[in-house]
Amino acid sequence: MAKILKGSEVVEYINSEAAKKVEELKNKDIVPTLAILRVGEKADQLSYEKSAVKRSETIGVAVKNVVLTDDVTQDDVIKSIIELNEDKAVHGVLVLRPLPKHISDDAVRAALCVSKDIDGITDGSLAGVFTVQGGNPAGFPPCTAQACIDILDFYKIDCTGKRVTVVGRSLVVGKPVAIMLMGKNATVTVCHTKTKDVSSITKEADIIIAASGQMESLTGEYFNSDQVVIDVGINWNDKKSKLCGDVLFEEAEPIVAAITPVPGGVGTVTTSVLVSNVIKAAERILI
């Protein structure tokens, strides 16, 4: 049986360290503050917003909610972002996406100040992942990609010289986490929808990052007995009436050496990374 890499243990560590930093900042009359901008009332976004608010309050980070209606104009969304950019009391901004179709995602991302981009969505933050080991000092890597790295670090899984296969090439996880793993001296292969015979590639890996966005698409034939598997996927399985990952857990878990669960793995850590980034952004104003 595989070792279960529980996100809760990583979260406890991140939260503990973050809470200490919050106290240090408050002693200097700085209250780390997260602004969450939401357009509309999508259930998944409401759920993520609720978890982000709860995690922030637990650690001691203040939250400012900016809620706009579904029919808001693109100009008004950008105006709200510019106001948050200029608000010195706000240290980090989370824009809940996807946005309604009539609003340009590129325009919104371009409007956000890199120094307040705590979820790594701006071009400046993403460029920083490629040019600066450990991320852009002005922005941050995407939180989910960082959560993968934090799990590996917490469980002392050394990436140096390891063969890592990333399944998925999105800007949210696949591409940035591949570069971040190279920064940890891993040899990285990225597989995607056009890759032939993916299972033959994953079987040769020491570490697999499953971020395909395809529910339970990585079955037992993709794995070997010495692997560490980080499952990024969060999918609702109607037949099982539960959340499932991109890995078919019941087939992979008896084979591999270690694996993250879904739920209770990467997704759990992502929210703590987000809040931790707000605190880091607040600390940077002291530099």
Domain boundaries defined on the chain: 29-115, 143-267
- Topology of the domain comprising 143-267: Rossmann fold (3.40.50)
* Each residue's pLDDT tens digit, 163-189: 999 999 999 999 999 999 999 999 999
Domain boundaries 29-115, CATH class: alpha beta
pTM of this structure: 0.94
Rounded to whole angstroms, the Cα distance separating 42 from 38 reads: 9
Along the 287 residues of the chain, how does pLDDT read in single tens digits? Answer: 899 999 999 999 999 999 999 999 999 999 999 999 999 999 999 999 999 999 999 999 999 999 999 999 999 999 999 999 999 999 999 999 999 999 999 999 999 999 999 999 999 999 989 886 555 677 899 999 999 999 999 999 999 999 999 999 999 999 999 999 999 999 999 999 999 999 999 999 999 999 999 999 999 999 999 999 999 999 999 999 999 999 999 999 999 999 999 999 999 999 999 999 999 999 998 86
pLDDT of residue 135: 53
**pLDDT tens column, 124-175:** 999 989 886 555 677 899 999 999 999 999 999 999 999 999 999 999 999 9
Contacts of 81 (CB under 8 A, 6+ apart): 37, 93, 95, 108, 111, 112
What DSSP letter does each residue of 80-139 carry, written as one string?
Answer: HHHHHHH-TT--EEEE-SSPPTTS-HHHHHHHS-GGGBTTS-SHHHHHHHHHSTTS-SSS
**Residue-wise DSSP of 219-264:** -GGG--TT-EEEE---EEETTTTEEE-SB-HHHHTTTSSEE--SSS
Asked whether this chain's domains 29-115 and 143-267 adopt the same fold, the reply is yes
